[in-house]
A and B are shown apart, each in its own frame.
Chain A
Amino acid sequence: MKVSSILATKGTDIISIRPEQQIREAIQLLTRHNIGALVVVDENGRLAGIISERDIIRKAAETEALFSLPISAVMTRHVITGMPQDDLMSVANTMTERRFRHLPITDGERLVGMISIGDVLKAQRDKFRGEIDTLETQLMADDE
C-alpha cells in the first residue's frame, strides 16, 4: 500500500500557513482543524517548513512573547518529505525510527498533502484488519 491511498480520503485542501504569519494564527488553525502540525508555504506555494505543536511548546518554554512571533522564527526548516508513491511500510519505519510525526507529501515541486503518524498507523491497522475481515467473512459464509 502506498501513501496515495491515505491522501485519497483527505480531500484536496492542505491546511497551511505563511512564514510571516504569527504563532497565534498557527494555534488557531491547529485547534480549529484538530491537527498537530501545519505546513509552511512561501508566496509561490512552495514548501518552506513545518510547524508542529511541539515546536510551539518548545518555544513557549523559552519566551513569553510567543504569540506574536512570526512562524519563520519557530518552524522547522529542514523538512523530510514523502512522495505519493512511497510505500506505507517504509514510511512507518522511517517515522518511528527518526521520531517525527508529520510528513508533507510532494509530487515533484508541488505540495499535495500531509500525513501524520496516526494516519499511517490507522492505514496499517486497516490493512491487517482487512485481511482478518476477509477470513472472518469466509468463516461466516461457511456457517450459512
Chain B
Amino acid sequence: MSHIGSESNPLRVAIVGAGPAGFYTAEHLFKNRDLVIEIDMYDRLPTPFGLVRAGVAPDHQKIKSVTRVFTKTAENPRFRFFGNVEFGKHLKLADMQAHYHAIVFTTGAQTDRRLNIPGIDLKNSHAATEFVAWYNGHPDYRHLEFDLTQERVAVIGVGNVAVDVARILCRTPEELAQTDIADYALEALRHSRVKEVYMLGRRGPAQAAFTPPEVKELGELADADVYVPPEEAKLDPLSEASLADSADRGTMRKVEIVQSFAGRQPTGKSRRLVLRFLVSPVALIGDENGRVRAMRLVKNELYATEAGTLRPRPTDQYETLDVGLVFRSIGYRGVPLPDVPFNDQWGVILNEKGRVLDPETQQPIPGLYTAGWIKRGPSGVIGTNKPDALETVECLLADVKNGRLLTPANPDAGAILQLVQTRQPYYCTFADWQRLDEMEIRRGQEIGRPRLKFTSVEEMLKALGKM
C-alpha cells in the first residue's frame, strides 16, 4: 500500500472533544502541506466548541466569535464532526484504534477540584462549575436548582471563573436579557433576591488569579457597588517587596484596580459585591434543615516558600460570615477516560508533551495523543490551547515520519461511519449543528436576544427532525 498520508491512504486522525484544543489541533494538522489528512472530531454533546459555549460567560459575547475561526476549520472537506457521540460509551478505545492512525484526546476538565472542609456538602453549597454549566445551558446541568432566595452569597476563590460567577449574580435582569444565558437561568435570576456577594481570596490582591480587565469590569456593573475592605486591599510587606522585585505590570495593574475599589463609597445600587483577601473558609455551618447558614473564616498571613512564592498560613483570628448560598470556585479537574492512562496527581492524561504514556514503561503508546486542559491541567485562556496543540501536533507529525503510529485494520472513512451509525443513530453532523445554530439565533432575534439556546439533547434532536 502507498505510504500513510497519500491521496489513496490518507492519515486518519480522530479528535475526541470539540473544544478549543480540539479545533486548534485540527487547524494545525490541516496546515501541513506534505500529508493528506482526514479528521473526524467527536463530542459527547450534539453542539461543538466546549467551554466557549458552556463556560465563557454569556455577558462576554464578543469572545465567542472565535467559533467562526473554528467553523472555518470544520468546513474543510476532509473534516467530519460526530456530535452526541461519547468516547468510552458509544465508541471504545479499541474501536478507534481499529479505524484511525492517531487519536487525540482533547476532552477538557469535566469536574471541579474538591474543597475538603466540614460542611462543604450541605444544601446550598455548590461547585461553581455546576452553576456555570447551568446558566450556560449545558444539557447535563439544566435540571439543577440554586436557591436564589438567599440574600447573602459567598464565592470561594478569586480566579476568573469566580469573577464570572460573582458578576452574573450581580447583573440586572435587563443586562442578562442582552445575553445568550439559558432561558430558565434568566427566569431564575430575574427573581433573585441576592443582595450581597462576597468573593474570598486566601492570599492578597497581588496573588489573585483574576486578570486586570476581568476585575476592572466588576467596578462597572449597572446595579451593584463594589467594595474592598481597605486593610485587605493594602499590600503586606512581603508582597510589596516581591512586586517591586518583579516589577510585573499585570500584577501592578491588578493591585491598583483592587485598591481603587477600597476607596469607593456606596452609591445606592441594589447589590453589593465585596472582595475579601487573606481569608480561608474553614467550615460551613448548617441550619436545622441542613442548609448553609454561615461560613467560618480564618484570617491568613503570607510567608515566602523557598522558591519565592507567597503562600497563605492561618493565624488565630477567626470570623463568621452569614451566608445562605456558597459557590466554591477553586479550579476545574480532568476525569479519566476509559482505557486511557491517567495521571491522578495532576488530574490529566498521563503524557509527555502530548504523547500519551504507558504507565508501566513510561514510553509513548503508539498513536495516542492529548492536548488542552486534559493534557496540561485547567488553566489558560482559549488561545493558550493553540501553542499547546501545536506541541502535540509536532509530536504526531514526527511520529508519522518515524512510522510510530497505529496500523488500523480498517482505516476507511465509510467503515467508521457505519460503526457510529449503529452505535449512536442520533449522532449529529456539523451541518446539523449549523442548522441548530441558525435556529438558536433566529429564536433569539424574535425576542431581542443574541441567541436562545437549546438546552436539552432531546430538544435538539427534535428540532433537527431526528426524533
Contact = CB atoms under 8 A, between A and B. Distances in A.
A79 to B, nearest CB: 9
A94 interface: yes
Interface stretch (A8-16, A44-52, A62-70): A8-16
A8 B375 contact: yes
Contacts of B230: none
Contacts of B248: 89
Query: What band does the interface of chain A fall in when counting residues whose beta carbon is under 8 Å from B?
Result: 35 or more
Residue among A82, A86, A133, A144 with most chain B CB within 10 A = A133
Interface in A1-29: 1-5, 7-13
A57 interface: no
Contacts of A127: 380, 384
Interface in B318-363: 343, 345-346, 348, 350-354, 357, 359, 362
B463 interface: no
Contact of A137 (B62, B207, B348, B383): B383
A119 to B, nearest CB: 11
- Which 3 A-B residue pairs are closest in the complex by CB-CB distance? A130-B384, A133-B383, A134-B383
A5 B376 contact: yes
A61 interface: no
Contacts of B311: 85
Contacts of B351: 8-9, 11
B381 interface: yes
Contacts of B8: none
Interface of A: 1-5, 7-13, 80-87, 89-91, 93-95, 97, 103, 112, 126-127, 129-138, 140-142, 144
A142 B65 contact: yes
A130 B307 contact: no
A3 B72 CA distance: 35
A80 B306 contact: yes
Nearest to B308: A94
Contacts of A134: 63, 66, 381-384
Given A89-B248, A91-B308, A103-B307, A12 B384 contact: no
Contact of B307 (A5, A11, A83): A83
Nearest to B331: A2
Given A87-B309, A129-B387, A5 B69 contact: no
Contacts of A8: 343, 346, 348, 351, 375-377
Contacts of B377: 4-5, 8
A25 B112 CA distance: 44
11 contacts: A3-B307, A8-B346, A11-B343, A12-B343, A12-B359, A90-B309, A93-B245, A127-B380, A131-B381, A137-B386, A138-B63
Interface centre among A12, A85, A97, A140 (most CB of B within 10 A): A12
Contacts of B379: 1-2, 5
A94 B308 CA distance: 6
A11 B245 contact: no
A7 to B, nearest CB: 6
B307 A141 contact: no
B115 interface: no
B309 A112 contact: no
A12 B387 contact: no
Contacts of B375: 8-9
B310 interface: yes
Interface in B155-207: 207
A126 B384 contact: yes
Given A3-B307, A82-B305, 12 more contacts: A5-B346, A8-B346, A11-B350, A12-B345, A86-B305, A87-B207, A93-B242, A93-B308, A112-B345, A129-B384, A130-B386, A130-B388
B300 interface: no
Contacts of B381: 130-131, 134
Nearest to A10: B352
Which of A5, A11, A93 has the largest number of chain B CB atoms within 10 A?
A11
Contact of B362 (A7, A11, A83, A94): A11
